[in-house]
Amino acid sequence: MESSSAATVSAGPGPGPAPVDLLRRLRARGAADPVTHVERVPARAGASAPWPSWAPAELRAAFTRRGVVAPWQHQAEAANLAYEGQHVVVATGTASGKSLAYQLPALATLLADPRATVLYLAPTKALAADQLRAVAALELEGVRPACYDGDTPRTEREWIRRHSRFVLTNPDMLHHGILPGHAQWSGFLRRLAYVVIDECHTYRGVFGSHVAHVLRRLRRQCARFGATPVFVLASATSGDPATATGRLTGLPVTAVTEDASPRGGVTFALWEPPLLPPDSNSSSPVPPQATGDHDDLRQVRRSALRETADLLADTVAEGVRTLAFVRSRKGAEVVAANARRALDDAVPELGDRVAAYRGGYLREERRELERALLHGDLLGLASTNALELGVDLVGLDAVLICGYPGTRASLWQQAGRAGRSGQEALAVLVARDDPLDTYLVHHPEAIFGAPVEATVLDPANPYVLAPQLACAAFEAPLTPADLALFGDGAKEAVDQLVAAGALRQRPTGWYWRHRERPEVDLRGEGGAPVAVVESSTGRLLGTVDGGSSHFLLHSGAVYLHQGVSYVVDQLDLADGCALVHAEEPDWSTHARDVTDLSVVSVRSYVDAGPVGMFLGEVDVTSQVVSYQRRRIATGEVIDTRPLDLPARELRTVAVWFTLSPQSLALAGVQPADVPGALHAAEHAAIGLLPLMATCDRWDIGGLSTALHPDTEAPTVFVYDGHPGGAGFAERAYGTAAAWLRATRDAIAECGCETGCPSCVQSPKCGNGNNPLSKPDAIRVLDVVLTNLPA
């Protein structure tokens, strides 16, 4: 942050400069203009509708007291459909008042029928807590809303089961607590009138596929008690929401998509951090060891994390209430710490007005941070997407988005956190040194001129379906009629469970054979969370999902929590615990892994002469084998240390293409350069796939080889990083020509000579980004695109 910013420090959240003026000041910080495009999203007037005739006067008065004079047209339309008994999804923009669309029919029914109940599902605890505050603030007699989640004290749970008529929870608690204990919830489920599913576009991939079956299990239990609740879903704007939510619920769903709410204008800037000079030590450039070429240091861009931290410090110094979205937990901590440091250098104690927010914090920490932001005690917050959804952050002036969040739906959802009271707002997308980010900031039409993605999920995934059927059988014996509820593949999955000894078939159905219930991880994260514990005190710092523990909590790893750095002493996978001690080393850690892949079967393929495009099942074996320590200031590799961690095996779905050696030779790719060409194409293809599917590069993996034993040809694989697949590889296969065209353009348009993080280098490469050949990657993709049908 420049020292001149300190002159305009605000003592509290004030109006701040206008978005256009603020952006001009931010752009003037450096010698070169980092903004590649500015999009003006105009303000929009709202269109209201009369209150539905069935809405009780008491309810209308309660909403009026809260400032809602009349519903917007889309709210009234969705509420009427739901009250008439139709399953409905309202898919409109951020801050369009989707909550009223389900609150209105649900609360009207609770007031009209003193026995009726409502179940509300949110993907995050923060959103459920926010909705609880909103419903409780209406002060409606007899509704008795309550949150029932992992943070709910045991002493309160019995009261909620017996007395609350509006229960707010999440899919995890529904799966782990409510459905297995359905006998205790029988009174609630017997009277269930509505099931509200908020922010349903987040249920994608493996997580979405699991939630789809949790909802089918809920419908099954309700039917056993004689209830047929109406499902009301709320979603950010998404492609084909009726089809996606129909797949999620297994029910016919009507979509309401015309947004009639007013909207403040948004100034949306695309920001590309500047290139660093060769001798710069102000960021962490990719080390020469990772590129094989010292000259590439000229092509390394300033870290998006550091750029976002400086922007956050500058906006806070301007008195602008700002939320910075950062993709990773560690990144959120780094952005908050750097912003605090910059602010304290300018004005002592001003850094106290900035904090980090992420999953893994303890409940008390999360609630205090939410309160501080809502009340203005904090001016800046660096958050993971834990605050992307629904929480009503009234009064924010600006949003910084550190790296493309993976989908256009998430991008607009995050940008919509600012300007929620209808005022003008600023949104800035800060590009990471990444192929997709670089492509987007130079192709704004891919953001502002394209529809949002359709939500991808696959309930027929056998690795999801079989465990969910086991859960259903534990709750009550399965019958042939139940199998139709769970859809395609259910009978085959039940037969497999019988063969494995998990189910016993009797004339009346299939019975769970074990005393303990099945252990099923809804989020597909590779096991139970790993607790992070301070060795000297035994204090629980937080948790890390099991799938990430090998990379983030291996022995010697640097772990950040609330700006404090810890080093891992020991990772105990058996006990699910990592012991750490506080330390501030001048180095960071980067895990490295090795991967092997074999083809199991081919579902579909395209024969395009010298090129083949395939979709099928593969077995992937990966193992974290070592980690690098790198100087934070320079990126210099200090050393590489071995690790002894178990290998992980994965059967999943992949898309892959093959090329004949002759076609590569005709394109000018020398045999010695084939590995680097394919490796570079693989990295870029992984980086660009989120343009086509609702995923990010951490959901998928890849492998390339000059001669794969199963294909007997040069091959590039891209696979889903979840057992059984998540639907991403199928999407890639279906849009192969467009996907690989964007990949080719991203590489060719990058200004570097030999390859950089903006085009072909990958932050997750287990081989240290070696070998890579940018020019030959373009030639490889030209061969594919020339032969592949458009």
Q: Encode pLDDT of 77-102 as tens digits.
A: 999 999 999 999 999 887 788 999 99
Q: Give pLDDT, residue 582.
A: 92
3-class SS shares of the chain: helix, strand, coil, % to 5: 40, 25, 40
∠ CA 323-558-626, nearest 5°, is 125
Give the dihedral sign, CA 758/762/768/774.
negative
* 168-172, 189-193, 451-455, 648-652: least confidently modelled range: 451-455
Burial environment of residue 636 by CB neighbours within 10 A (0 to 12, 13 to 18, 19 or more): middle
Helix axes 674-688, 736-749, angle to 10 degrees: 110
Strands 700-705 and 715-720: antiparallel
Q: Give pLDDT, residue 296.
A: 34
Residue type at position 561: H
* 373-377, 425-429, 533-537, 567-571: least confidently modelled range: 373-377
Please give the Cα distance from 398 to 19 (Å, whole number). Answer: 8
Taking only the tens place, the pLDDT of each residue in 311-354 is 999 999 998 989 999 987 778 888 999 999 999 999 988 999 99
Please give the Cα distance from 397 to 393 (Å, whole number). Answer: 10
Alpha helices for 476-521 (secondary structure H):
480-486, 490-499
pLDDT band at 292 (very low <50, low <70, confident <90, very high): very low
Q: 760-773 as b/e, with b when 16 or more CB fall inside 10 Å? A: bbbbebbebbebbb
- Which whole number is the average pLDDT over 459-469? 89
DSSP symbols for 393-445: -TT--EEEEES--SSHHHHHHHHTTS-TTS--EEEEEEPPSSHHHHHHHH-TH
**Coil, helix or strand for 721?**
coil
Closest CA to 627 of 559, 563, 678, 574: 559
For residue 152 the two structure tokens come to: 């709910």
Q: Give pLDDT, residue 9.
A: 30
Residue type at position 263: R
Identify the residue whose tokens are 């590649």: 36
Please give the Cα distance from 397 to 339 (Å, whole number). Answer: 17
pLDDT band at 558 (very low <50, low <70, confident <90, very high): very high
Phi, psi of 110 (to 5 degrees): -65, -35
Phi, psi of 245 (to 5 degrees): -75, -30
- Which whole number is the average pLDDT over 291-305? 54
Peptide bond between residue 771 and the one before it cis (omega within 30 degrees of 0): yes
Taking only the tens place, the pLDDT of each residue in 691-712 is 887 776 667 889 999 999 999 9
CB 256 within 8 A of CB 102: no
Burial environment of residue 670 by CB neighbours within 10 A (0 to 12, 13 to 18, 19 or more): exposed
For residue 640 the two structure tokens come to: 């590489």
* 9-18, 282-291, 391-400: least confidently modelled range: 282-291
**Number of C-beta neighbours around residue 744 at 10 A:** 22
pLDDT band at 360 (very low <50, low <70, confident <90, very high): low
pLDDT band at 669 (very low <50, low <70, confident <90, very high): very high
Q: Give pLDDT, residue 290.
A: 30
Task: Rounding to the nearest 10 degrees, give the CA dihedral for residues 50, 51, 52, 55.
Answer: -170
**Number of C-beta neighbours around residue 47 at 10 A:** 13
Please give the Cα distance from 49 to 329 (Å, whole number). Answer: 42
More confident of the two residues 279 and 501: 501
Please give the Cα distance from 410 to 123 (Å, whole number). Answer: 14
**Coil, helix or strand for 143?**
coil
Strands 322-326 and 398-402: parallel
Burial environment of residue 3 by CB neighbours within 10 A (0 to 12, 13 to 18, 19 or more): exposed
Q: 82-100 as b/e, with b when 16 or more CB fall inside 10 Å? A: bbeebbbbbbbbbbbbbbb
Q: Give pLDDT, residue 663.
A: 97
Please give the Cα distance from 165 to 128 (Å, whole number). Answer: 15
pLDDT band at 544 (very low <50, low <70, confident <90, very high): confident
**Residues in Cβ contact with 41 at an 8 Å cutoff, skipping those fewer than 6 apart:** 263, 265, 266, 267, 268
The average confidence (pLDDT) of the chain is 87
Give the dihedral sign, CA 428/434/435/436.
negative
Q: How far apart are the first and last CA of the chain?
A: 48
Please give the Cα distance from 715 to 31 (Å, whole number). Answer: 44
Please give the Cα distance from 399 to 426 (Å, whole number). Answer: 6
Q: How far is CA 625 from the centre of its chain?
A: 27
- Which whole number is the average pLDDT over 375-384? 87
Closest CA to 316 of 290, 288, 284, 338: 338
Please give the Cα distance from 392 to 741 (Å, whole number). Answer: 40
For residue 84 the two structure tokens come to: 């008439």
For residue 22 the two structure tokens come to: 């603020």
Identify the residue whose tokens are 């939500």: 455
E runs forming strands in 573-682:
577-582, 587-608, 611-631, 637-642, 648-659
Taking only the tens place, the pLDDT of each residue in 721-746 is 887 887 889 889 999 999 999 999 99
**Coil, helix or strand for 177?**
helix
pTM of the model: 0.73
pLDDT band at 763 (very low <50, low <70, confident <90, very high): low
Residue type at position 591: A
CB 510 within 8 A of CB 503: yes
Closest CA to 656 of 681, 634, 621: 681
For residue 72 the two structure tokens come to: 């917007």
State the SS3 of 281-349: CCCCCCCHHHHCCHHHHHHCECCHHHHHHHHHHHHHHCCCCEEEEECCHHHHHHHHHHHHHHHHHHCCC
Q: Give pLDDT, residue 696.
A: 66
Please give the Cα distance from 158 to 163 (Å, whole number). Answer: 9
**Coil, helix or strand for 636?**
coil
Residue 31 has pLDDT above 80, yes or no: no
616 half-sphere exposure, CB direction, 13 A CA radius:
20
More confident of the two residues 12 and 541: 541
* 281-290, 347-356, 553-562: least confidently modelled range: 281-290
**Residues in Cβ contact with 608 at an 8 Å cutoff, skipping those fewer than 6 apart:** 787, 788, 789
**Coil, helix or strand for 374?**
helix
- Which whole number is the average pLDDT over 52-77? 95
What number of helices (H) and strands (E) belong to the chain?
26, 27
Q: How far is CA 749 from the centre of its chain?
A: 28
Closest CA to 698 of 237, 249, 331: 331
Strand partners, 357: 383
Closest CA to 389 of 66, 586, 127, 177: 127
DSSP symbols for 87-129: -EEEE--TTS-HHHHHHHHHHHHHHH-TT-EEEEE-SSHHHHH
Closest CA to 428 of 310, 270, 302: 270
Q: Give pLDDT, residue 521.
A: 81
Helix axes 125-137, 98-112, angle to 10 degrees: 50
Q: Give pLDDT, residue 526.
A: 56
Burial environment of residue 348 by CB neighbours within 10 A (0 to 12, 13 to 18, 19 or more): exposed
Q: How many residues does the chain have?
A: 790
Closest CA to 612 of 653, 657, 654: 657
